[in-house]
Protein backbone atom coordinates (compact mmCIF):
# COMPACT_ATOMS: atom_id res chain seq x y z
CA UNK A 1 0.00 0.00 0.00
CA UNK A 2 1.18 3.46 -0.78
CA UNK A 3 0.10 6.18 1.59
CA UNK A 4 0.55 9.86 0.97
CA UNK A 5 1.05 12.08 4.00
CA UNK A 6 -0.17 15.66 4.29
CA UNK A 7 2.95 17.34 2.90
CA UNK A 8 2.98 15.44 -0.38
CA UNK A 9 2.68 18.82 -2.08
CA UNK A 10 6.45 19.40 -1.95
CA UNK A 11 7.90 19.93 -5.39
CA UNK A 12 10.62 17.39 -6.01
CA UNK A 13 13.24 17.83 -8.76
CA UNK A 14 14.74 14.48 -9.78
CA UNK A 15 17.87 14.36 -11.97
CA UNK A 16 18.66 11.43 -14.24
CA UNK A 17 20.40 10.52 -17.47
CA UNK A 18 20.28 6.98 -18.85
CA UNK A 19 23.96 7.17 -19.85
CA UNK A 20 25.04 7.13 -16.18
CA UNK A 21 24.33 3.41 -15.77
CA UNK A 22 26.61 2.57 -18.69
CA UNK A 23 29.87 3.64 -17.03
CA UNK A 24 31.95 0.82 -15.63
CA UNK A 25 34.82 0.99 -13.11
CA UNK A 26 36.00 -2.46 -14.23
CA UNK A 27 35.38 -6.09 -13.51
CA UNK A 28 34.88 -6.88 -9.79
CA UNK A 29 35.15 -3.22 -8.75
CA UNK A 30 32.56 -2.69 -5.99
CA UNK A 31 31.35 0.70 -7.30
CA UNK A 32 28.66 0.00 -9.90
CA UNK A 33 26.94 2.93 -11.66
CA UNK A 34 24.35 0.39 -12.86
CA UNK A 35 22.67 0.72 -9.43
CA UNK A 36 21.56 4.25 -10.47
CA UNK A 37 19.78 2.79 -13.51
CA UNK A 38 18.25 0.11 -11.26
CA UNK A 39 16.97 2.74 -8.81
CA UNK A 40 15.58 4.73 -11.73
CA UNK A 41 13.81 1.69 -13.10
CA UNK A 42 12.09 1.10 -9.74
CA UNK A 43 11.14 4.78 -9.57
CA UNK A 44 9.60 4.58 -13.05
CA UNK A 45 7.80 1.31 -12.36
CA UNK A 46 6.25 2.56 -9.14
CA UNK A 47 4.29 4.71 -11.59
CA UNK A 48 2.47 6.95 -9.13
CA UNK A 49 5.88 7.97 -7.84
CA UNK A 50 7.41 8.90 -11.18
CA UNK A 51 4.35 10.88 -12.25
CA UNK A 52 4.68 13.13 -9.22
CA UNK A 53 8.33 14.03 -9.82
CA UNK A 54 9.70 16.91 -11.89
CA UNK A 55 12.22 14.98 -13.95
CA UNK A 56 15.29 16.86 -15.21
CA UNK A 57 17.86 15.54 -17.69
CA UNK A 58 21.39 15.50 -16.27
CA UNK A 59 23.85 17.56 -18.33
CA UNK A 60 27.63 17.40 -18.28
CA UNK A 61 29.24 20.10 -16.12
CA UNK A 62 31.74 22.16 -18.13
CA UNK A 63 35.44 22.32 -17.27
CA UNK A 64 35.15 25.86 -15.93
CA UNK A 65 32.47 24.74 -13.48
CA UNK A 66 34.66 21.91 -12.15
CA UNK A 67 37.52 24.37 -11.65
CA UNK A 68 35.42 26.30 -9.11
CA UNK A 69 36.75 23.79 -6.59
CA UNK A 70 39.31 21.61 -8.33
CA UNK A 71 42.80 22.54 -9.41
CA UNK A 72 42.67 23.61 -13.11
CA UNK A 73 45.57 21.30 -14.01
CA UNK A 74 43.83 18.36 -12.36
CA UNK A 75 40.61 19.05 -14.29
CA UNK A 76 42.50 19.31 -17.59
CA UNK A 77 44.31 16.08 -16.77
CA UNK A 78 41.03 14.25 -16.04
CA UNK A 79 39.48 15.59 -19.24
CA UNK A 80 41.65 13.22 -21.30
CA UNK A 81 39.30 10.45 -20.17
CA UNK A 82 36.30 11.73 -22.12
CA UNK A 83 34.06 9.04 -23.53
CA UNK A 84 35.27 7.43 -26.75
CA UNK A 85 31.98 8.44 -28.28
CA UNK A 86 32.57 12.06 -27.57
CA UNK A 87 36.17 11.99 -28.82
CA UNK A 88 35.06 10.31 -32.04
CA UNK A 89 32.15 12.71 -32.44
CA UNK A 90 34.31 15.82 -31.97
CA UNK A 91 37.08 14.52 -34.24
CA UNK A 92 34.65 13.48 -36.93
CA UNK A 93 32.58 16.65 -36.69
CA UNK A 94 35.66 18.81 -36.98
CA UNK A 95 37.09 16.91 -39.95
CA UNK A 96 33.86 16.71 -41.94
CA UNK A 97 33.34 20.43 -41.47
CA UNK A 98 36.86 21.18 -42.67
CA UNK A 99 36.16 24.71 -43.67
CA UNK A 100 38.59 25.44 -40.82
CA UNK A 101 35.91 26.63 -38.45
CA UNK A 102 35.42 24.64 -35.27
CA UNK A 103 32.09 25.46 -33.63
CA UNK A 104 32.50 27.40 -30.42
CA UNK A 105 30.76 24.82 -28.22
CA UNK A 106 33.29 22.15 -29.28
CA UNK A 107 36.36 24.39 -29.24
CA UNK A 108 37.59 23.57 -25.75
CA UNK A 109 36.98 19.85 -26.23
CA UNK A 110 38.73 19.90 -29.61
CA UNK A 111 41.73 21.62 -28.07
CA UNK A 112 41.90 19.06 -25.24
CA UNK A 113 41.48 16.05 -27.49
CA UNK A 114 44.29 17.16 -29.82
CA UNK A 115 46.45 18.10 -26.83
CA UNK A 116 46.12 14.68 -25.19
CA UNK A 117 46.57 12.72 -28.40
CA UNK A 118 49.81 14.63 -29.08
CA UNK A 119 51.28 14.42 -25.57
CA UNK A 120 50.22 10.94 -24.60
CA UNK A 121 53.43 9.75 -23.00
CA UNK A 122 55.24 12.96 -22.15
CA UNK A 123 54.41 13.12 -18.46
CA UNK A 124 52.87 10.64 -16.12
CA UNK A 125 50.60 12.49 -13.76
CA UNK A 126 48.67 9.39 -12.66
CA UNK A 127 50.68 9.00 -9.46
CA UNK A 128 50.41 12.68 -8.56
CA UNK A 129 46.65 12.78 -9.01
CA UNK A 130 46.04 9.22 -7.72
CA UNK A 131 44.10 8.30 -10.85
CA UNK A 132 44.64 4.86 -12.35
CA UNK A 133 47.22 4.41 -9.65
CA UNK A 134 45.37 2.02 -7.32
CA UNK A 135 42.45 -0.36 -7.67
CA UNK A 136 40.17 2.14 -5.87
CA UNK A 137 40.37 4.81 -8.59
CA UNK A 138 40.95 3.12 -11.95
CA UNK A 139 40.77 4.87 -15.29
CA UNK A 140 37.94 3.65 -17.50
CA UNK A 141 36.24 4.57 -20.73
CA UNK A 142 34.32 7.81 -20.30
CA UNK A 143 35.63 8.48 -16.79
CA UNK A 144 35.57 12.24 -17.34
CA UNK A 145 32.06 12.24 -18.80
CA UNK A 146 30.92 10.27 -15.75
CA UNK A 147 32.39 12.99 -13.49
CA UNK A 148 30.78 15.70 -15.63
CA UNK A 149 27.34 14.07 -15.33
CA UNK A 150 27.60 13.52 -11.60
CA UNK A 151 28.72 17.12 -11.01
CA UNK A 152 26.36 18.67 -13.57
CA UNK A 153 23.37 17.22 -11.72
CA UNK A 154 24.53 18.28 -8.25
CA UNK A 155 25.17 21.83 -9.46
CA UNK A 156 21.74 21.91 -11.10
CA UNK A 157 20.15 20.58 -7.89
CA UNK A 158 21.47 23.75 -6.26
CA UNK A 159 19.96 25.84 -9.08
CA UNK A 160 16.47 24.33 -8.82
CA UNK A 161 16.52 25.08 -5.09
CA UNK A 162 17.94 28.61 -5.45
CA UNK A 163 15.41 29.57 -8.13
CA UNK A 164 12.53 28.19 -6.07
CA UNK A 165 11.63 25.61 -8.74
CA UNK A 166 11.83 22.82 -6.16
CA UNK A 167 11.68 22.26 -2.40
CA UNK A 168 13.69 19.04 -2.65
CA UNK A 169 16.23 18.14 -5.35
CA UNK A 170 17.60 14.62 -5.85
CA UNK A 171 20.75 13.39 -7.63
CA UNK A 172 21.42 9.70 -6.99
CA UNK A 173 24.38 9.95 -9.42
CA UNK A 174 26.24 12.25 -7.03
CA UNK A 175 27.56 12.14 -3.47
CA UNK A 176 31.20 11.46 -4.32
CA UNK A 177 32.49 12.79 -1.02
CA UNK A 178 36.16 11.63 -1.01
CA UNK A 179 37.44 13.61 -4.03
CA UNK A 180 39.96 16.33 -3.10
CA UNK A 181 40.98 19.58 -4.80
CA UNK A 182 43.64 17.79 -6.87
CA UNK A 183 43.38 14.15 -5.95
CA UNK A 184 41.07 11.22 -6.57
CA UNK A 185 40.27 8.97 -3.59
CA UNK A 186 37.86 6.22 -2.57
CA UNK A 187 36.13 5.74 -5.97
CA UNK A 188 35.65 9.55 -6.29
CA UNK A 189 37.38 11.86 -8.79
CA UNK A 190 35.33 15.08 -8.82
CA UNK A 191 33.61 16.29 -5.67
CA UNK A 192 30.10 17.10 -6.89
CA UNK A 193 29.02 17.85 -3.31
CA UNK A 194 31.54 20.64 -2.80
CA UNK A 195 30.55 22.12 -6.19
CA UNK A 196 26.86 21.97 -5.19
CA UNK A 197 27.51 23.66 -1.83
CA UNK A 198 29.68 26.38 -3.43
CA UNK A 199 26.78 27.15 -5.76
CA UNK A 200 24.38 27.40 -2.78
CA UNK A 201 26.81 29.75 -0.99
CA UNK A 202 26.40 32.29 -3.81
CA UNK A 203 23.00 33.09 -2.25
CA UNK A 204 22.63 31.32 1.06
CA UNK A 205 24.54 32.35 4.17
CA UNK A 206 24.70 28.95 5.86
CA UNK A 207 24.56 25.41 4.43
CA UNK A 208 24.42 22.21 6.47
CA UNK A 209 25.95 19.03 5.04
CA UNK A 210 24.82 15.69 6.53
CA UNK A 211 26.55 12.47 5.46
CA UNK A 212 25.05 9.06 6.32
CA UNK A 213 27.34 7.04 4.04
CA UNK A 214 29.20 4.54 6.24
CA UNK A 215 32.49 6.21 5.25
CA UNK A 216 33.71 9.55 6.60
CA UNK A 217 32.87 12.49 4.29
CA UNK A 218 36.49 13.64 4.35
CA UNK A 219 36.63 15.54 1.01
CA UNK A 220 33.67 17.76 1.90
CA UNK A 221 34.88 18.27 5.46
CA UNK A 222 38.34 19.28 4.25
CA UNK A 223 36.97 21.72 1.66
CA UNK A 224 35.00 23.63 4.32
CA UNK A 225 37.19 22.98 7.37
CA UNK A 226 38.11 26.65 7.74
CA UNK A 227 34.72 28.26 7.25
CA UNK A 228 31.72 28.90 9.50
CA UNK A 229 29.30 29.10 6.55
CA UNK A 230 29.19 25.35 6.03
CA UNK A 231 28.70 22.88 8.83
CA UNK A 232 29.72 19.34 7.89
CA UNK A 233 28.26 16.44 9.88
CA UNK A 234 29.28 12.86 9.11
CA UNK A 235 28.13 9.59 10.70
CA UNK A 236 30.54 6.78 9.83
CA UNK A 237 32.14 3.51 10.70
CA UNK A 238 35.50 4.16 12.35
CA UNK A 239 38.43 2.06 13.58
CA UNK A 240 40.37 -1.07 12.59
CA UNK A 241 41.78 0.78 9.56
CA UNK A 242 38.35 1.33 8.07
CA UNK A 243 38.67 3.75 5.12
CA UNK A 244 39.55 6.67 5.10
CA UNK A 245 40.64 6.67 8.76
CA UNK A 246 39.65 10.29 9.50
CA UNK A 247 36.55 11.65 11.25
CA UNK A 248 37.39 11.34 14.94
CA UNK A 249 35.06 13.00 17.43
CA UNK A 250 37.72 15.63 18.13
CA UNK A 251 38.13 16.78 14.48
CA UNK A 252 36.02 19.91 14.80
CA UNK A 253 37.31 22.42 12.24
CA UNK A 254 39.90 25.18 12.44
CA UNK A 255 40.05 28.98 12.70
CA UNK A 256 36.60 30.53 12.24
CA UNK A 257 35.55 27.02 11.18
CA UNK A 258 36.24 25.64 14.66
CA UNK A 259 33.20 23.61 15.82
CA UNK A 260 31.67 23.73 12.32
CA UNK A 261 32.84 20.19 11.57
CA UNK A 262 30.96 17.49 13.47
CA UNK A 263 31.93 13.83 13.46
CA UNK A 264 30.12 10.78 14.76
CA UNK A 265 32.47 7.76 14.62
CA UNK A 266 30.73 4.41 15.08
CA UNK A 267 31.71 0.81 15.63
CA UNK A 268 30.22 -1.98 13.50
CA UNK A 269 26.73 -3.40 13.92
CA UNK A 270 24.63 -0.35 14.84
CA UNK A 271 20.95 -0.95 14.05
CA UNK A 272 17.95 1.35 13.43
CA UNK A 273 16.97 2.04 17.05
CA UNK A 274 20.25 3.36 18.43
CA UNK A 275 21.28 4.96 15.11
CA UNK A 276 18.06 6.96 14.81
CA UNK A 277 18.17 7.99 18.44
CA UNK A 278 21.69 9.33 17.90
CA UNK A 279 20.85 10.87 14.51
CA UNK A 280 17.86 12.77 15.90
CA UNK A 281 19.67 13.98 19.01
CA UNK A 282 22.57 15.32 16.96
CA UNK A 283 20.73 16.79 13.97
CA UNK A 284 18.02 18.48 16.07
CA UNK A 285 20.68 20.31 18.10
CA UNK A 286 22.63 21.16 14.94
CA UNK A 287 19.52 22.59 13.23
CA UNK A 288 18.70 24.63 16.34
CA UNK A 289 22.17 26.12 16.78
CA UNK A 290 23.37 26.46 13.17
CA UNK A 291 20.04 27.44 11.55
CA UNK A 292 21.00 26.55 7.95
CA UNK A 293 19.30 28.04 4.89
CA UNK A 294 19.58 24.71 3.08
CA UNK A 295 20.52 21.11 3.91
CA UNK A 296 22.51 18.80 1.63
CA UNK A 297 22.32 15.11 2.56
CA UNK A 298 24.72 12.50 1.20
CA UNK A 299 22.57 9.35 1.35
CA UNK A 300 25.26 6.68 0.89
CA UNK A 301 23.47 3.31 1.13
CA UNK A 302 26.53 1.40 2.36
CA UNK A 303 25.26 2.04 5.90
CA UNK A 304 22.56 -0.58 5.19
CA UNK A 305 22.68 -4.07 6.62
CA UNK A 306 24.43 -6.64 4.37
CA UNK A 307 26.49 -4.07 2.47
CA UNK A 308 29.53 -5.55 0.71
CA UNK A 309 31.93 -2.96 2.24
CA UNK A 310 30.23 -1.44 5.29
CA UNK A 311 29.42 -3.22 8.54
CA UNK A 312 26.59 -1.09 9.91
CA UNK A 313 23.16 -2.70 10.25
CA UNK A 314 20.42 -0.28 9.11
CA UNK A 315 17.21 -1.29 7.38
CA UNK A 316 15.89 0.68 4.41
CA UNK A 317 13.15 2.11 6.64
CA UNK A 318 15.75 3.16 9.24
CA UNK A 319 17.94 4.81 6.59
CA UNK A 320 14.82 6.48 5.18
CA UNK A 321 13.77 7.81 8.58
CA UNK A 322 16.91 9.97 8.55
CA UNK A 323 15.62 11.58 5.34
CA UNK A 324 12.10 12.04 6.72
CA UNK A 325 13.57 13.59 9.85
CA UNK A 326 15.63 16.12 7.88
CA UNK A 327 12.65 16.89 5.64
CA UNK A 328 10.37 17.81 8.55
CA UNK A 329 12.48 20.89 9.41
CA UNK A 330 10.94 22.50 6.31
CA UNK A 331 14.31 23.81 5.05
CA UNK A 332 15.18 23.27 1.32
CA UNK A 333 16.75 19.86 0.91
CA UNK A 334 19.17 18.32 -1.58
CA UNK A 335 19.61 14.54 -1.57
CA UNK A 336 22.68 13.01 -3.18
CA UNK A 337 23.74 9.38 -3.63
CA UNK A 338 27.12 8.03 -2.58
CA UNK A 339 28.31 4.58 -1.59
CA UNK A 340 26.30 1.38 -1.56
CA UNK A 341 27.75 -1.93 -2.70
CA UNK A 342 24.99 -4.52 -2.42
CA UNK A 343 23.38 -2.98 -5.43
CA UNK A 344 19.89 -4.50 -5.27
CA UNK A 345 19.53 -2.92 -1.81
CA UNK A 346 20.94 0.44 -2.93
CA UNK A 347 18.34 0.76 -5.68
CA UNK A 348 15.58 -0.30 -3.27
CA UNK A 349 16.73 2.28 -0.74
CA UNK A 350 16.96 5.23 -3.13
CA UNK A 351 13.63 4.41 -4.81
CA UNK A 352 12.01 4.25 -1.35
CA UNK A 353 13.61 7.58 -0.35
CA UNK A 354 12.46 9.23 -3.58
CA UNK A 355 8.96 8.19 -2.46
CA UNK A 356 9.49 9.64 1.02
CA UNK A 357 10.28 13.02 -0.53
CA UNK A 358 6.84 12.94 -2.14
CA UNK A 359 5.21 11.88 1.12
CA UNK A 360 4.81 8.28 -0.07
CA UNK A 361 5.78 5.43 2.19
CA UNK A 362 6.18 2.57 -0.30
CA UNK A 363 5.85 -0.94 1.13
CA UNK A 364 5.18 -3.16 -1.87
CA UNK A 365 6.56 -5.99 -3.96
CA UNK A 366 8.97 -5.08 -6.76
CA UNK A 367 6.89 -4.44 -9.92
CA UNK A 368 7.09 -7.63 -12.00
CA UNK A 369 7.72 -5.70 -15.21
CA UNK A 370 10.94 -4.15 -13.86
CA UNK A 371 13.81 -4.94 -16.27
CA UNK A 372 16.04 -5.72 -13.30
CA UNK A 373 13.38 -7.89 -11.63
CA UNK A 374 15.64 -10.94 -11.43
CA UNK A 375 18.19 -8.95 -9.36
CA UNK A 376 15.71 -8.88 -6.47
CA UNK A 377 15.44 -12.65 -6.13
CA UNK A 378 14.64 -13.98 -2.70
CA UNK A 379 11.68 -11.97 -1.55
CA UNK A 380 11.05 -9.62 -4.49
CA UNK A 381 9.95 -6.93 -2.06
CA UNK A 382 11.04 -3.29 -1.76
CA UNK A 383 12.21 -3.90 1.81
CA UNK A 384 14.63 -6.61 2.85
CA UNK A 385 14.99 -8.14 6.31
CA UNK A 386 18.04 -6.91 8.28
CA UNK A 387 20.39 -9.31 10.01
CA UNK A 388 18.87 -10.00 13.41
CA UNK A 389 21.89 -11.64 15.01
CA UNK A 390 24.52 -9.02 14.31
CA UNK A 391 26.10 -7.66 17.47
CA UNK A 392 25.94 -3.89 17.93
CA UNK A 393 29.50 -3.11 19.03
CA UNK A 394 28.45 0.40 20.18
CA UNK A 395 27.61 0.39 23.88
CA UNK A 396 24.84 2.74 25.06
CA UNK A 397 27.41 4.60 27.15
CA UNK A 398 29.70 5.14 24.09
CA UNK A 399 26.79 6.64 22.18
CA UNK A 400 25.74 8.86 25.10
CA UNK A 401 29.31 10.11 25.35
CA UNK A 402 29.29 11.04 21.67
CA UNK A 403 26.05 13.03 22.09
CA UNK A 404 27.32 14.94 25.11
CA UNK A 405 30.66 15.70 23.39
CA UNK A 406 28.88 16.99 20.29
CA UNK A 407 26.57 19.13 22.46
CA UNK A 408 29.62 20.56 24.26
CA UNK A 409 31.22 21.47 20.92
CA UNK A 410 28.03 23.09 19.64
CA UNK A 411 27.80 25.26 22.78
CA UNK A 412 30.82 27.13 21.44
CA UNK A 413 29.01 28.37 18.32
CA UNK A 414 28.43 32.09 18.23
CA UNK A 415 24.81 33.14 17.99
O1 LIG B 1 40.47 0.76 1.98
C2 LIG B 1 40.79 1.31 0.96
C3 LIG B 1 42.26 1.46 0.54
C4 LIG B 1 43.03 0.34 0.23
C5 LIG B 1 44.03 0.39 -0.88
C6 LIG B 1 43.41 -0.05 -2.22
N7 LIG B 1 42.82 -1.41 -2.10
C8 LIG B 1 42.16 -1.78 -3.37
C9 LIG B 1 41.81 -1.46 -1.02
C10 LIG B 1 42.43 -1.05 0.32
C11 LIG B 1 43.32 1.07 1.43
N12 LIG B 1 39.87 1.80 0.10
C13 LIG B 1 38.46 1.67 0.32
C14 LIG B 1 37.75 2.79 -0.39
C15 LIG B 1 36.29 2.87 -0.04
C16 LIG B 1 35.61 3.98 -0.80
C17 LIG B 1 34.19 4.22 -0.36
C18 LIG B 1 33.51 5.25 -1.22
C19 LIG B 1 32.23 5.83 -0.61
O20 LIG B 1 31.28 4.80 -0.40
O21 LIG B 1 32.45 6.42 0.64
C22 LIG B 1 31.61 6.91 -1.49
C23 LIG B 1 31.30 6.56 -2.88
C24 LIG B 1 38.02 0.33 -0.15
N25 LIG B 1 37.24 -0.49 0.54
C26 LIG B 1 37.04 -1.58 -0.25
C27 LIG B 1 37.74 -1.39 -1.41
N28 LIG B 1 38.33 -0.18 -1.33
C29 LIG B 1 37.81 -2.29 -2.56
C30 LIG B 1 38.25 -1.80 -3.78
C31 LIG B 1 38.34 -2.65 -4.89
C32 LIG B 1 37.97 -4.01 -4.76
C33 LIG B 1 37.52 -4.48 -3.51
C34 LIG B 1 37.45 -3.61 -2.42
C35 LIG B 1 38.77 -2.19 -6.13
C36 LIG B 1 38.82 -3.08 -7.20
C37 LIG B 1 38.44 -4.39 -7.02
N38 LIG B 1 38.02 -4.83 -5.83
C39 LIG B 1 38.49 -5.35 -8.17
CA1 LIG C 1 29.42 9.38 6.55
ZN1 LIG D 1 30.86 4.82 1.54
- Please indicate, yes or no, if residue 176 is contained in any of the structural domains: yes
Q: Tell which atom from ligand 1 comes closest to the C-alpha of 302.
A: 20
ipTM, interface predicted TM-score of the complex: 0.99
In a domain, 72, yes or no: no
Centroid of ligand 3 to alpha carbon of 368 (angstroms): 30
Q: How far is CA 313 from CA 150, 169, 304, 344, in A?
A: 28, 27, 6, 16
Average pLDDT over residues 71-89: 85
Q: Band of the pLDDT at 122, cuts 50, 70, 90?
A: very low
Residues less than 5 Å from ion ligand 3, measured at CB: 213, 215, 300, 302, 339
| CATH at residue 351 | 3.40.800.20
| pLDDT (tens digit per residue) in 240-249 | 999 999 999 9
Instruction: Please give the residue range of the domain that contains residue 388.
Output: 12-59+151-410
How confident is the model over 76-85, as a mean pLDDT?
A: 85
Choice from 32, 192, 212, 243 to test ligand 1 binding pocket (greatest atom count within 8 A of CB): 243
Which of the residues are catalytic? 178
Of 25, 27, 186, 298, best ligand 1 pocket probe by most atoms within 8 Å of the beta carbon: 186
pLDDT band at 106 (very low <50, low <70, confident <90, very high): confident
Ligand nearest, relative to CA of residue 243: 1
- For the chain, give the percent of residues with pLDDT over 70: 94
Name the pLDDT band for 345 (thresholds 50, 70, 90). Answer: very high
Question: Does position 1 have pLDDT exceeding 70, yes or no?
Answer: no
pLDDT exceeds 70 at position 119: no
Q: Is the predicted pLDDT of residue 47 greater than 90, yes or no?
A: no
- The closest residue, in CA terms, to atom 4 on ligand 1 is 136
Q: Which atom of ligand 1 is nearest to the CA of 243?
A: 1
Distance CA 141, CA 85 (A): 9
10 in Cβ contact with 17 (< 8 Å)? no
pLDDT at residue number 87: 75
Number of domains into which the chain is organized? 1
DSSP string, 169-227: EEETT---TT-BTTB-BTTBSS-HHHHHHHHHTTT-S-EEEEE-SSS--HHHHHHTTT-
Residue whose CA lies nearest to ligand 1 atom number 21: 215
Ligand index nearest the alpha carbon of residue 262: 2
Query: Dihedrals φ, ψ of 324, to 5°?
Result: -60, -40
**How, if at all, do strands 12-16 and 207-211 pair?**
unpaired
Q: 95 pLDDT exceeds 90?
A: no
Radius of gyration from C-alpha coordinates of the chain = 21
My answer on whether omega of the bond before 333 falls inside 30° of 0, hence cis, is no
Q: Which of 92-101, 144-153, 287-296, 303-312 has the lowest mean pLDDT?
A: 92-101
Confidence of residue 86 (pLDDT cuts 50, 70, 90): confident
CA of 217 to the centre of ligand 2 (A): 5
Nearest to 151 by CA among 213, 91, 194: 194
Q: Give residue 114's pLDDT band: very low, low, confident or very high (50, 70, 90).
A: confident
- The whole-number average pLDDT for the span 100-129 is 73
Mean pLDDT to the nearest integer, 93-116 = 73
Q: What is the pLDDT of residue 249?
A: 98
Q: Please give the mean pLDDT across all residues of the chain.
A: 93
pLDDT at 158 over 90: yes
Q: What is the pLDDT of residues 191-212, one digit of tens each?
A: 999 999 999 999 999 999 999 9
Whose CA is closest to atom 15 on ligand 1? 186
The 3-state DSSP class for residue 149 equals: helix
Note the ligand closest to the C-alpha atom of 338.
Answer: 1
pLDDT at site 94: 73
State yes or no: pLDDT of 382 exceeds 90: yes
Give nearest CA residue, ligand 1 atom 34: 30
In a domain, 108, yes or no: no
Instruction: Give the pLDDT band (50/70/90) at residue 91.
Output: confident
Protein residues with CB under 6 Å of any ligand 1 atom: 28-30, 134-136, 176-178, 186-188, 213, 215, 243, 300, 302, 309, 338-339
pLDDT class for 120, splitting at 50, 70, 90? low
Amino acid sequence: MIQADSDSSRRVAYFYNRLIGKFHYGKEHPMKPKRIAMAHSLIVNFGQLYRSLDVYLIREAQLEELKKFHDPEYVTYLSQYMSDNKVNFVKEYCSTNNDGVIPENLLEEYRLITKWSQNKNTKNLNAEYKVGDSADNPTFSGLFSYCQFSAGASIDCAHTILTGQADIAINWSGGLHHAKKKEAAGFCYINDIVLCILELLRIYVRVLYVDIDCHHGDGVEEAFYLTNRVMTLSFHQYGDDFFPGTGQLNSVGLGVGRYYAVNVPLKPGISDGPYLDLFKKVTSRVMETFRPDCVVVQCGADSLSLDRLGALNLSIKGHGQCITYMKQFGVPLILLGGGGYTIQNVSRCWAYETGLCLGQNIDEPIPTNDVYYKNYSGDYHLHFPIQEHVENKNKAEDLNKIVSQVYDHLKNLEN
